[in-house]
Structure 1
């Protein structure tokens, strides 16, 4: 039986394994991160780990707002974990120590709020996924009827939601005369800084109009673009990494070599020198955000739904089919790229070429089912914004509409062989009820789902160019299946 990873045992790691280049005991907390999932641990925590040797004031206290799984795995190993970077060339392992400790918020609201109120904490960052903002994905506005929002407005001292924790912490800081922290969203939301500002300002207004003005005028919410593919860790990953380390790591993370972080430089109380670790600071992140959301995330979702329906387990499996490569190349080149407006020097051709190679990486077992989660929250950002731009220009949406139709087919909860699909989505029950009523009629199913305003808004269901294209694609998926439908698509 292997010994467990901990501070005391890091000297016994193989020389090839990189480890923190700083004394963890000297690190103080400067960041609270909400949503301690695999992506944060493979992305922002790694950037922060790289700068702690020069500036130890930016340690991270991470919080899970729901599940205790990450805490249960990492608490006994001093919150240390391994990042495995996998490519066809092999596997590179490094130990990351930027996270000082993990709080399970439902068990310790007071502890988390106390840390967030500490004057040394100058940044609160988030990777809570789209659904964690308790907002309407179609408009970006706070969903005031969301159960967690209703609870947090009634019980502010024991919040459940990310907005609830942030606003209560800001209220306490204001009452104590402590300057507000910067709120840094690292989720795939359009204009994520503006979106989180809109959500937080409205939430604060509902608490107290003066607090609403304080949040609107004093709290900085820079936008960001984050990019790194991070599949779910498997038991095979744990066994392989444990054997390579000679030490058990209960929850390593696996990722790809590529990583990117573009950030608007608006941090009134200071920030880590993330640029020394490769982050790029810009005045306006929006062009980069559109590039990533539409090219990478839009392609990823399209691959996930169609690939799953076609019987492919991973993105790499899906991209081994030449028809799917043609689909994604056409989606990116023909339908997405004309909607992007990049600053001078941005090389979209190289970015798209790199995306195709990243999707094909056989060492990265990124399951189509994992990417397919929470589609109701993702479609507006990943596909529907591009659809609106294309319709405005009067140009083709053939591939975009197929991606939307594949989502519709997926959320019926039954695959092409009649087997159940484990649909994970905050609206899963409602979507399944609509699908069951519609039966196997493409027209009925599309019509029922178009009526979900939180996803499609008021405009798209009224545009026959959109509804007709999606319905025809859905008919093909029912009649021919995903593989034949994709194979029959015309070339670029």
Structure 2
């Protein structure tokens, strides 16, 4: 067994004998980026790209300060603090080999609940040119029913009353931008890295809604001095397991309390709209474009929706990982039909993209047996994901009078999933901000299936569309009467087209 070395700055030279480590002088880096939400995806994506860029030691302006925003982020904050911001990225290749390296781009880290003022000051620093976000789809505080900012959220009410001790991203950004204005500093770029179509537009719209109530005199300054580029982000990053941590120790002798595992594929397509300058991420594989909408629509509607399809169906089948669901022939056929017959007609012309190849690559990526992405993770916060990943396809297909049968089936399966157990009696661990409401409507749906569609913050007015309701009811009753496996076979039958 190898000697075990704790991952931290002073041990980097020794660790570099085992795996690649940062070659640049981390102590010389200025913090040019504040990133809110330092979970696995950020560390496999933006921080990875930035680390690659920093290998050019002449670049010193783009160190990252990671901000842990929420109380339950204590563990990741403490881990990064103890490891001097360092962590191991483990890329699980399709052939089962692991490519490992230590990432050093995160040079500072703050725990917002402990010291809100320090986070606000850091965001207002003149060195900071970009504030980037991975706050999840639900973090934008968008109500699907009203299509507006949700001021009824108790955390938003708290921030309005306690501007110097905020709890939400909107409170922090508002106070930081206010300081920039008062101090005569330049503005900055707010860069969403979340899975939302038009994520930059959404970030701006939600922030401006809050600012117009909290600090209305700040609105004109933000319009002139802050940019909000849209971006499409892509890299499957499952939750780190205890086995991943132990395997790293055994194979490389590195004691890393929270390494990040991910697939080899990565993509980052960004609108080139950075008001205060930006890193040259294009030199390490990112793509800057004038219009990111076609790329993000394709990714959200195919990859992210595909994950939800595999997650919800896989949970009802009794699977625990995405690759298990993807390897089931009937579930795989369901996904292919959904992508080919229902999603593809909504995408229009994607210049420069081979859509058929992209869809085939997704099937391969979902089936990577070494990733072991947990279905529980993929299904978490589905109430925020479904309106973004699946419902736009439904609305467009209804408008075009196209097929919505497979999409309706997924919503019906989601209603049954929300009961909290599958048909084999296995309890499902549901992690969702709307867990109680979902369960209440799921129970009511046992007598009246359409009761589930009354959740307007998720489904808007979909309950009023006769075509969708008919397809949804048929799918729901089929699953209840015949079980999930036979129902999936039934809906797939007689459908010739797929990807």
| Length-normalised TM-score, structure 1 | 0.96
1:447 deviates by 2.0
For each residue in 1:153-211, what CA deviation from the matched residue of structure 2 results, as whole angstroms up to 9, or x when unmatched?
Answer: 11110010011111111111111111121100010112111111110111110013221
1:57 deviates by 0.5
Q: Residue 365 of structure 1 aligns with which residue?
A: 372
Q: Residue 78 of structure 1 aligns with which residue?
A: 84
Matched, 1:127 2:131: no
Q: Residue 219 of structure 1 aligns with which residue?
A: 226
Matched, 1:450 2:479: no
Q: Residue 353 of structure 2 aligns with which residue?
A: 346
Q: Is the 8 A contact 2:144 2:460 kept in 1?
A: no
Judge which range, 53-62 or 371-380, deviates more. 53-62
Alignment partner of 2:64 out of 26, 43, 60: 60
Q: Is the 8 A contact 2:38 2:76 kept in 1?
A: yes
Displacement over 4 Å in runs of 4+: none
Alignment partner of 1:24 out of 17, 23, 26: 26
Distance 1:164 1:424, change over 3 A: same
1:434 deviates by 2.3
Q: Is the 8 A contact 2:138 2:381 kept in 1?
A: yes
Measure the CA separation in 2 of the matches of 1:428 and 1:481. Answer: 23
Measure the CA separation in 2 of the matches of 1:226 and 1:355. Answer: 15
Q: Is the 8 A contact 1:203 1:212 kept in 2?
A: no
What does residue range 68-107 of structure 1 map to in structure 2 within 5 Å? Answer: 68-89=74-95, 90-107=97-114
Q: Residue 154 of structure 2 aligns with which residue?
A: 147
Tell me the SS of whatever aligns to 1:17. Answer: coil
For each residue in 1:100-146, what CA deviation from the matched residue of structure 2 results, as whole angstroms up to 9, or x when unmatched?
Answer: 12211111111111110101101000001011112214555211111
1:8 deviates by 1.3
Tell me the SS of whatever aligns to 2:143. Answer: coil
Q: Is the 8 A contact 1:138 1:380 kept in 2?
A: no
Aligned residues, how many? 487
Q: Residue 257 of structure 2 aligns with which residue?
A: 250
Measure the CA separation in 1 of the matches of 2:21 and 2:98. Answer: 15
For each residue in 1:78-97, what CA deviation from the matched residue of structure 2 results, as whole angstroms up to 9, or x when unmatched?
Answer: 11000000023211001100
Measure the CA separation in 2 of the matches of 1:329 and 1:294. Answer: 13
What does residue range 101-116 of structure 1 map to in structure 2 within 5 Å? Answer: 101-116=108-123
Q: Is the 8 A contact 1:126 1:186 kept in 2?
A: yes
Q: Is the 8 A contact 2:92 2:371 kept in 1?
A: yes
Measure the CA separation in 2 of the matches of 1:226 and 1:390. Answer: 25
Measure the CA separation in 2 of the matches of 1:481 and 1:124. Answer: 47
Q: Which runs of 5+ in 2 are unaligned?
A: none
Q: Is the 8 A contact 2:317 2:422 kept in 1?
A: no
Q: Is the 8 A contact 2:188 2:225 kept in 1?
A: no
Measure the CA separation in 1 of the matches of 2:408 and 2:441. Answer: 20
Q: Residue 205 of structure 1 aligns with which residue?
A: 212
Matched, 1:180 2:187: yes
Alignment partner of 1:432 out of 406, 418, 439: 439
Alignment partner of 1:318 out of 310, 321, 325: 325
Matched, 1:384 2:391: yes
Distance 1:4 1:140, change over 3 A: farther
Tell me the SS of whatever aligns to 1:106. Answer: coil
1:74 deviates by 2.1
Distance 1:140 1:166, change over 3 A: farther
Tell me the SS of whatever aligns to 2:142. Answer: coil
Matched, 1:47 2:33: no
Q: Is the 8 A contact 1:140 1:199 kept in 2?
A: no
1:363 deviates by 0.4
Measure the CA separation in 2 of the matches of 1:351 and 1:368. Answer: 22
What does residue range 281-300 of structure 1 map to in structure 2 within 5 Å? Answer: 281-300=288-307
Judge which range, 193-202 or 131-140, deviates more. 131-140
Q: Is the 8 A contact 2:318 2:426 kept in 1?
A: no
Measure the CA separation in 2 of the matches of 1:464 and 1:485. Answer: 22
For each residue in 1:368-420, what CA deviation from the matched residue of structure 2 results, as whole angstroms up to 9, or x when unmatched?
Answer: 11100101101111100000000000011111111111111111212212333
Q: Is the 8 A contact 1:184 1:223 kept in 2?
A: yes
Q: Is the 8 A contact 1:288 1:342 kept in 2?
A: no
Q: CA RMSD in A?
A: 1.4
Measure the CA separation in 1 of the matches of 2:9 and 2:181. Answer: 37
For each residue in 1:260-306, what CA deviation from the matched residue of structure 2 results, as whole angstroms up to 9, or x when unmatched?
Answer: 00000000100000101100001111100100000101111011001
Q: Is the 8 A contact 2:33 2:130 kept in 1?
A: yes
Tell me the SS of whatever aligns to 2:390. Answer: helix
1:479 deviates by 1.8
